[in-house]
Structure 1
């Protein structure tokens, strides 16, 4: 995925090494008893998920009143309508119309078509607030659908933008292009393997259905020597340094997380007469576990 965009000046990052818990407000320790695939709207795909084998070191469960903003201790809003390096159409805003809690334990990111024909949406990052090297990073999400709709849960290296993309590294945990509701993608981008040359794999709905119809748990398990992608605890790809064919493995430092819904772009294409707005990405939780 080509996400090459500008960012505001960054503060000193909070680095949480694998197996460590930082005693700082920038990364809040959460109770360690929450299982993977736990609390939230019922989903038959998640009913048999096992408890976490590692300690839960951070989570946002999106508990709060309907209409509240996502916790600013965890999330930044990136804003703007400059195409984000991909020819996207949306204007990312910090309006509650585009990102808010629903009062039922979910964060809702809403892509809208406005009265003037333009599009608005939201892009949330944990940059400078929650950044970690290694672990299991997962989110339970119901994705939106439609031609030109592009939801994603992904990560960028904490040295971005001082180290420019793609040298800073990118791990796409889950992407979907809305005209393919039964397929999600997991990819990495780094020096010599970025954009259309990113390295990854796709995962098809196991029953031939649509991922848009229910919540699913999208995760990576990331160690110094490998990254494994899974959906509902079913692994579908593992990447190691040897798989890069001599190109540089840049997944040896902390990354931050991103949730967004784009509209349009070179890969998903653009909305057409079949696309219905608003479209919502509903996020039950985001969690980080030690491995």
Structure 2
């Protein structure tokens, strides 16, 4: 892991005094010790970056069958995924399919692997990995106790270490027992939920499970900003300190999934009578940031 660098400030002396200072320091003296100053934050400037008007990468889901292999891959398995989740993620068309102009991720109550539920977790890792830009997803969410859909981003290379050191961007999270309250969150080593310092915003949006809404991130070197239905609901400004606060200077990829249960999604239990439940995605679009 990178270490926090310290700047050592030394005043230049004539040779005899410098020698005396050296001897005093080595013997544990106080006044002769080097003066150590903490690093100063790098001043950040918002250049008001714009984004291209035409999507650089998109999936409009205007085809039928499995999600396009040129654009999507899968995370597979039923390990709990660090949150005690109860689903097994598959690459079955029963859990992830495209038709009628949309992608549908379906969570089902069924024996799958060693778990009691099945679902899908689609990822663009090594197919669409981006540093900065705008991502917008139009989606209709599942409902009911135990559902935990997410539209989110993870670092592709984990340059600063495992979670949460290399960061996470949650463009949309929703838990079914708290219907219509939608969350936008970022996590890093300094700011994440297990130490209750995460950067997060919540907005009540009526009908997230009965109608389509747009969920968007605008990511620049200056800030991460979140938008629901075009309204800004979140802003986290780069403090210019270290990777512990801002690991968001490396490439990330997108994830779409519906989890079942888990530490948050299952905090009030799982209602087995609601399944199957689905998240429908009308489109996913990435717009490149215009550098300046």
- TM-score w.r.t. the length of structure 2 is 0.75
Task: Give deviations 1:99-156, integer Å, cap 9, x for gaps.
Answer: 0112x11000000001688100000101111001111111000000110100000000
Task: State the shift of 1:273 in Å.
Answer: 4.0
Distance across 2 between alignment mates of 1:168 and 1:287:
24
Tell me which residue corresponds to 1:231: 228
The answer on 1:111 being equivalent to 2:110 is no
Task: Give deviations 1:168-225, integer Å, cap 9, x for gaps.
Answer: 11100000001122111011111122234321111111xxx23111000100101101
Task: State the shift of 1:160 in Å.
Answer: 3.0
Distance across 2 between alignment mates of 1:83 and 1:145:
21
Confirm or deny: 8 A CA contact 1:146 1:275 kept in the other structure.
no
**Equivalent position to 1:210, from 207, 212, 216:** 207
Task: State the shift of 1:163 in Å.
Answer: 2.9
Distance across 2 between alignment mates of 1:119 and 1:241:
39
TM alignment of 1:137-286, pairs within 5 A: 137-160=135-158, 163-196=161-194, 197=196, 198-205=198-205, 209-242=206-239, 247-269=244-266, 271-273=269-271, 275-286=273-284
Tell me which residue corresponds to 2:122: 124
Task: State the shift of 1:164 in Å.
Answer: 1.2
Distance across 2 between alignment mates of 1:120 and 1:184:
23
Task: State the shift of 1:286 in Å.
Answer: 0.5
Task: State the shift of 1:161 in Å.
Answer: 8.1
Tell me which residue corresponds to 2:3: none
* Alpha-carbon spacing, 1:54–1:265, altered in 2? closer, same or farther (3 Å): same
Confirm or deny: 8 A CA contact 1:167 1:250 kept in the other structure.
yes
Confirm or deny: 8 A CA contact 2:108 2:119 kept in the other structure.
yes
Cα RMSD for the two superposed structures: 2.2
* Alpha-carbon spacing, 1:62–1:243, altered in 2? closer, same or farther (3 Å): same
Tell me which residue corresponds to 1:14: none
Confirm or deny: 8 A CA contact 2:159 2:250 kept in the other structure.
no
* Alpha-carbon spacing, 1:133–1:246, altered in 2? closer, same or farther (3 Å): closer
Paired positions, count: 234
What secondary structure is seen at the aligned counterpart in 2 of 1:166?
A: coil
Distance across 2 between alignment mates of 1:118 and 1:161:
35
What secondary structure is seen at the aligned counterpart in 2 of 1:242?
A: coil
The answer on 1:56 being equivalent to 2:55 is yes
The answer on 1:78 being equivalent to 2:75 is yes
Tell me which residue corresponds to 2:26: none
* Alpha-carbon spacing, 1:143–1:105, altered in 2? closer, same or farther (3 Å): same
* Alpha-carbon spacing, 1:113–1:57, altered in 2? closer, same or farther (3 Å): same
Confirm or deny: 8 A CA contact 2:165 2:244 kept in the other structure.
no
Confirm or deny: 8 A CA contact 2:240 2:246 kept in the other structure.
no
TM alignment of 1:90-109, pairs within 5 A: 90-102=87-99, 104-109=100-105
* Alpha-carbon spacing, 1:237–1:171, altered in 2? closer, same or farther (3 Å): same
Compare the two structures and name the one with the higher strand fraction.
Answer: 2
- TM-score w.r.t. the length of structure 1 is 0.75
